[in-house]
Amino acid sequence: MSPRIPTRVSTPRPTLANAAVPTSAPANTAVPAGADAPAANVVAPTGGSWKRSATKEVAISDLQQKFGWTDESWQGRLLQAADEGADGSRSANGQVSAAELESYLSAPTDAQFLTSTALQQQRAALDAKLQGGAQSASVDSFDSPWQQSVAKRADLLGGNGDGQLSADELTAYINASKANQAKGTGTAANTQWVPDQQMAVFQSRVAEVAGEVDPLQGVGGSGATPGLNLVKEYSRTLMDTDKNVPTFVSYLLSAADVKETPADVSRLDSTFVRDPELKGGVVDADYNNTGFDRGHMKPAEDSPTQAAMNESHLMSNIAPQHGNHNQQVWRTLERGVSEMVKETGGKAYIVTGNLYLDDKGKPLPPESLQTTGSKDDRRIAVPTHNFKTVLLELPNGNLSMFAYMVPNKAEGPSKKDDILPLLQESRVPVDQIEGLLGQDLYAQLPKGVQEKLEKDTSAAGVFQQQSLYESATLLRN
């Protein structure tokens, strides 16, 4: 059975002015009992869900030495560009902060690097120029210097260099920037796409070295679950090497990444492999004939590139899940979160992991854990529950937070009429999960914002018909 959910804490909820969410439920939706309360949203401080510190700089040379980034790598070039400023406005000091990276990427007038969010903005700018029926727009007619820079590059690199930007030229330019990303062949002379998800981990690395809290890394307290921190290109993992299962995996999912993901990214081209950072780690064959699915923590479908897809198939991203739970219940929740991010146009900081609890919701002692695996010297702990926490930031900066703690049962439901009530019953406040982990998962948020969001389970859940499954979304009814 699920651990008892604490009594709901009521908090003031400012209205969502200009929020990018529908004001009525989509057609053919079923709203489960208890989901009619308004979402627990708060107005974020200026600058989004938190404001990075511009003063917490770290030497670029230290970052390059620590992570093996050369001057010619995209990481080395990005650090240098952020240090100089997109328009040369900064006096380069050989140091950079996560805030400076963010500032550079929000207005990259040199157009060396474009995130998915920047690409979406550029597409919108072109569409606005072509609304009158024009076939092209002057590269000098865009509203901001960075848009003009992108337009000029697209005209030259993806078009005919006539000073006019067309939709076809922009598409060719964007496809070329994505090819540069996939091949790792970007240079200062061209443009490289860096997905929001990849950039979030890059910024997280810089923030960590600078001693700054970050939404992708929890802050452990005295009772924190021990583990090995693994920082990948698209996600972060706290690995429990004793259990051979990740405690949790964190990553960013943005609506812009969902829209910009190339059509040829496919899980069929990826295979499960041992994490090269874990020499004695789990291998794919350890799950053979165990009766358990290889359950993704970061879903394969939340991968904006093939490299991200391959990374999601590392065994350090996998936990044993019962078949029906993985393929039906958990799958429903995964698709629901992805759909929620896409439909709201926002971005979500997601933490997904595993818990081992008794029937009273208390942590199980090591000797009571169920294990599986084909090797006696490499046993894999079977979680009793999988959890997922989501901090959703809307385009206007407003925030919503929700969490699920779902039993990993062999007899899990497979019909939507049974899945939806189970998910609704599995809603818990984020701070309950934090208490079990001994981790402050969203330490970058101001304390007042945390108190309003992390204790509340009332963000409305609307379940919308999606293919074979019902997707859980935060589209308000």
Q: Is 408 annotated as a binding residue?
A: no
What is the CA angle 240-242-247, rounded to 5? Answer: 20
Closest CA to 258 of 308, 294, 223, 218: 308
Pairing, β 219-220 against β 399-407: unpaired
Residue 284 class from Cβ within 10 Å (0-12 exposed, 13-18 middle, 19+ buried)? middle
The residues near 124 (Cβ < 8 Å, ≥ 6 apart) are none
Find the catalytic residue in 296, 322, 325, 385.
296
Helix 98-106 vs helix 74-84: crossing angle, to nearest 10 = 90
In single-letter form, the type of residue at position 345 comes to G
Residue 183 class from Cβ within 10 Å (0-12 exposed, 13-18 middle, 19+ buried)? exposed
Q: How many CB atoms lie within 10 A of CB 159?
A: 21
Closest CA to 203 of 133, 285, 88, 115: 115
Q: How many CB atoms lie within 10 A of CB 293?
A: 18
In single-letter form, the type of residue at position 239 comes to M
State how far the Cα of 325 lies from the Cα of 210, in Å rounded to an integer: 40
Contact 257, 121 (CB under 8 A): no
Task: State how far Cα 156 lies from the chain centre.
Answer: 33
State how far the Cα of 474 lies from the Cα of 477, in Å rounded to an integer: 9
Query: Which residues, listed in sequence order, are joined to residue 142 by a DSSP beta bridge?
Result: none
Is residue 296 flagged as an active site residue?
yes
Element (H, E) at 171: helix 167-183
Question: Which residues are catalytic, by number?
Answer: 296
As annotated, the binding site includes: 326
As annotated, the binding site for Mg(2+) includes: 326
